[in-house]
Amino acid sequence: MNQLITCDTANVAYLLECPCEKQYDVRTTRKLKCHNNDPSGFRVMGISHKTNNWRDGNNVQIISHEEIQWIISLKTLQPCGFNIELDINCFI
């Protein structure tokens, strides 16, 4: 988590934290500021950013792969967090 992530950053994995301290790991290819519909009262923290590079391949798959790694390492699966499932299609 040593990358500069702002509201204008796209291709981001980010973390929502509820006041009850449960967390939800989310990914987006849009700019982070486009997610203003996330529940108010939740803290938003960018945790990973992938730059667009024509040699990197499928950014959605790359970000999805990182999202799974963050869900596991931050333990955001239910009942500890708000993530309900792991979408492992990005590994196939």
Domain residue limits at 19: 12-91
Query: What's residue 48's pLDDT?
Result: 80
Q: Decide if 81 is inside a domain.
A: yes
83 or 33, which is more confident = 83
Q: Is residue 55 part of a domain?
A: yes
Work out the pLDDT band at 49, boundaries 50, 70, 90: confident
CB 81 within 8 A of CB 75: yes
Tell me whether residue 2 is in a domain.
no
Per the domain annotation, does 1 fall within a domain?
Answer: no
Give the pLDDT score at 90.
63
In a domain, 4, yes or no: no
Q: How many domains does the chain have?
A: 1
Residue 73 phi/psi, 5-degree rounding, is: -70, -35
pLDDT at 91 (0 to 100): 64
Residue 80 resides in a domain: yes
Please tell me the predicted confidence (pLDDT) of residue 58.
Answer: 72
Task: Calculate the average pLDDT of the chain.
Answer: 78
**Residue 51 falls inside a structural domain:** yes
